[in-house]
């Protein structure tokens, strides 16, 4: 069965419901496209290619960290994220409280990436009978901790049973003044490419947790050896959103020209900015900020540290561009690193290694993580 499961021949039902005015359905079954062929972004593009906007208030629809909606004096930002057990989290090593915290934070981060202030969120759960109320209490304790810390109001959600496992969907509303919003699309050739904090540790934390999980599975009496890896594990299990960057940049008189949060890895996010802004980039590998201990652990795992930063993801730092004239203002700010600059699109998208080689920036999947 090409679809991977059996169904009625729904084409007739579809014809009755929606397509009476259109031509009759073809009798032969069309060729089906696998999702693997499309990839996540290919799928989103395909699903949304016929979307039309009906309201002038919708200033930005699909394609950024959040949608932007005109609300008169200010604009509202709206974003949503889905966390699926077995795909985004593994309950073997992810405590429920951390999971709740992270589910909230990844949404708050998307509002920070638009240069907005997070305000309200909804939390929806699909949960199978294997979970106890106490486990879900813990999940909510984590959500509420994040709401307290980032001053976000939990205003609703939805709850459903599920056949298997746990799914959490969080939606968030943020706010900003119209001229404060920063899109992925505003970078210009010559702009400086900057990143907050350091990168790659969340991925290294994941590797440590996965290693201890395999040991545990072979011998359930063995408790995991996690001491000494607090930073890396914390980055994976309990990330923070960089909401303070908005005020920090405002305070030094800088408005980024473009911005995105690093959920999928530096390379993928740089490519989003390049694509949406219509620019190229020159990234300097040696400038990518990576925690020293994370570097050492990466090498033990035979992973090039910069590859953990480029392809690992889940650091939830902000990647942004500023005008070249802002160099003096930003060059000595603690916690912000200039890692390259944007170029004309014809110059391509390259990373320069410390020994001067140019390598094309590509968004690698997980398989690309195994380095020398
Ligand atoms: P992020 O990594 O910041 O959460 P995504 O890469 O998930 O962003 O999504 C990119 C854009 O595509 C966003 O504008 C998002 O709202 C939109 N998007 C993702 N999935 C869908 C979908 N199934 N239908 C419509 N829009 C989607
Ligand atoms: Mg994002």
Q: Which residues line ligand 1 (CB under 6 A)?
A: 44, 47-48, 62-65, 81, 110, 263
Atom of ligand 1 nearest to the CA of 67: 14
CA distances from 239 to 102, 136, 167, 235, 328 (A): 6, 20, 19, 5, 30
Tens-place pLDDT, residues 8-47:
777 777 677 776 655 666 667 778 999 998 998 899 999 9
**pLDDT > 90 fraction of the chain, expressed in percent and rounded:** 84
Is residue 205 within 8 Å of 237, Cβ to Cβ? yes
* Mean pLDDT (whole number) for 58-81: 97
pLDDT of 305 reads 97
CA-based nearest residue to 68, from 10, 122, 113, 17: 113
More confident residue, 210 or 14: 210
Task: For the chain, give the mean pLDDT.
Answer: 93
Identify the residue whose C-alpha is closest to ligand 1 atom 6: 41
pLDDT at 372 over 50: no
3-class secondary-structure state, position 221:
coil
CA of residue 78 to ligand 2 center, whole Å: 12
Q: How far does the centroid of ligand 1 lie from the alpha carbon of residue 299, in Å?
A: 34
CA of 325 to the centre of ligand 2 (A): 27
Domains of the chain, by residue range, sit at: 36-179, 192-360
**Cα 167 to middle of ligand 1, angstroms:** 17
The pLDDT value recorded for residue 304 is 96
pLDDT score at 262: 98
Residues 6+ apart with CB under 8 A from 323: 188, 190, 191, 192, 257
Check the CA dihedral 367-369-370-372 and report its sign: positive
252-281: per-residue pLDDT in tens?
999 999 999 999 999 999 999 999 999 999
> Residue 220 has what pLDDT?
83
Output the residue whose Cα is nearest ligand 1's atom 17. 62
Residue nearest to atom 2 of ligand 1 (CA): 263
What is the reported pLDDT for 371? 34
pLDDT for the residue numbered 20: 60
**pLDDT of 51 strictly over 50:** yes
The closest of 120, 123, 122 to 71, measured between CA atoms, is 120
| pLDDT computed for residue 21 by the predictor | 59
Ligand nearest to the CA of 109: 2
CATH number of 192-360: 3.90.650.10
Per cent of the chain over pLDDT 70 is 93
Distance 44 CA to ligand 1 centre (A): 7
Interval between CA 292 and ligand 2 midpoint (Å): 26
Contacting residues for 252 by C-beta, under 8 A, at least 6 apart: 329, 330, 333
Give mean pLDDT, residues 119-126: 98
Q: Specify the 3-state DSSP secondary structure of 56.
A: coil
Tell me the ligand closest to 66's alpha carbon: 1
Is the pTM higher than 0.85? The answer reads yes
Residues 261 and 243: their CA atoms lie apart, in Å, by 11
Predicted local confidence at residue 7, as pLDDT: 75
Q: What's the sign of the alpha-carbon dihedral 144, 148, 150, 156? A: positive
User: Residue 230 Cα, ligand 1 centroid: separation in angstroms?
Assistant: 31
Q: Give the residue, by CA position, lying nearest to ligand 1 atom 15.
A: 62
Mean pLDDT (whole number) for 190-200? 98
| Closest residue to atom 7 of ligand 1, CA basis | 81
Protein residue closest via CA to atom 21 of ligand 1: 44
Rounded Cα gap, residues 232 and 227, in angstroms = 11
Question: What number is the average pLDDT over the span 348-357?
Answer: 97
Residue, of 47 and 220, whose pLDDT is higher: 47
Separation of alpha carbons 247 and 249, rounded Å = 5
When pLDDT is cut at 50, 70 and 90, the band that residue 211 belongs to is very high
Q: By the 8 A CB rule, do 241 and 105 touch?
A: yes
Residue 345 has pLDDT above 50, yes or no: yes
Per-residue pLDDT, 244: 98
User: Which residue, by CA, sits nearest to atom 26 of ligand 1?
Assistant: 62
Q: For ligand 1, what atom is nearest to the CA of residue 106?
A: 4
Alpha-carbon gap, residue 201 to 199, rounded angstroms: 6
Q: Ligand 1, residue 40: give the atom nearest the CA.
A: 6
Does the pLDDT at position 59 exceed 80? yes
Ligand number, closest to the Cα atom of 112: 2
C-alpha closest to that of 202 among 101, 313, 109, 295: 313
Mean pLDDT of 361-368: 63
Q: Which of 44, 65, 69, 77 to mutate to test the pocket of ligand 1 (most atoms within 8 A of CB)?
A: 44
Which is nearest to 296 in space by CA: 229, 363, 350, 251?
229
Question: pLDDT (tens digit, 9 = 90+) per residue, 129-151?
Answer: 999 999 999 999 999 999 999 99
What digits encode the pLDDT tens for the residues 291-342? 999 999 999 999 999 999 999 999 999 999 999 999 999 999 999 999 999 9
CATH code for 36-179?
3.30.1330.10
Asked whether the predicted pLDDT for residue 1 surpasses 50, the reply is no
What is the C-alpha separation between 128 and 83, in angstroms, rounded? 15
Domains 36-179 and 192-360 share a fold: no
Please give the biggest Cα pair distance in the chain: 67
- Identify the nearest ligand to the CA of 317 by its number: 2
Can you tell me the distance from the alpha carbon of 181 to that of 254, in angstroms, rounded to the nearest whole number?
A: 13
Q: Choose the residue to mutate in 62, 80, 103, 261 for probing ligand 1, maximizing ligand atoms within 8 Å of C-beta.
A: 62
Closest ligand by atom to 113 CA: 2
């Amino acid at each position: 069965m090409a679809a991977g499961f059996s169904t009625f021949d729904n084409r007739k039902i579809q014809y009755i419901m929606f397509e009476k005015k259109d031509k009759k359905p073809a009798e032969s079954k069309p060729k089906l496209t696998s999702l693997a062929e499309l990839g996540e972004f290919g799928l989103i593009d395909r699903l949304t290619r016929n979307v039309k906007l009906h309201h002038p208030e919708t200033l930005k629809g699909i394609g950024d960290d959040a949608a932007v909606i005109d609300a008169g004096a200010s604009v509202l930002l709206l974003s949503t994220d889905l966390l699926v057990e077995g795909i985004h989290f593994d309950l073997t090593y992810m405590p429920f409280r951390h999971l709740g915290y992270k589910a909230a934070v990844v949404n708050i981060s998307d509002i920070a990436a638009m240069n907005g202030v997070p305000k309200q969120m909804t939390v929806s759960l699909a949960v199978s009978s294997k979970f106890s109320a106490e486990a879900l209490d813990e999940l909510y304790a984590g959500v509420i901790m994040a709401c307290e810390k980032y001053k976000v109001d939990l205003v609703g959600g939805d709850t459903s049973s599920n056949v298997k496992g746990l799914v959490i969907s969080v939606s968030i509303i943020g706010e900003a003044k119209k001229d404060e919003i920063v899109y992925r699309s505003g970078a210009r050739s010559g702009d400086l490419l900057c990143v907050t904090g350091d990168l790659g540790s969340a991925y290294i934390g994941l590797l440590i947790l996965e290693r201890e999980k395999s040991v545990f599975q072979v011998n359930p009496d063995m408790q995991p050896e996690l001491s000494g890896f607090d930073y890396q594990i914390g980055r994976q299990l309990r990330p923070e959103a960089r909401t303070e960057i908005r005020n920090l940049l405002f305070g030094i008189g800088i408005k980024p020209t473009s911005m995105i949060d690093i959920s999928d890895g530096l390379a993928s996010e740089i490519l989003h900015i390049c694509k949406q802004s219509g620019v190229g980039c020159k990234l300097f590998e040696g400038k990518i900020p990576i925690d020293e201990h994370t570097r050492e652990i990466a090498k033990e795992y035979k992973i090039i540290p910069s590859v953990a930063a480029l392809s690992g993801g889940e650091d939830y730092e902000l990647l942004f561009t500023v005008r070249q004239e802002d160099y003096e203002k930003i060059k000595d700010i603690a916690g912000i690193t200039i890692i390259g600059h944007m170029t004309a699109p014809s110059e391509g998208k390259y990373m320069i290694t410390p020994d001067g080689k140019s390598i094309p920036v590509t968004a690698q999947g997980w398989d690309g993580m195994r380095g020398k």
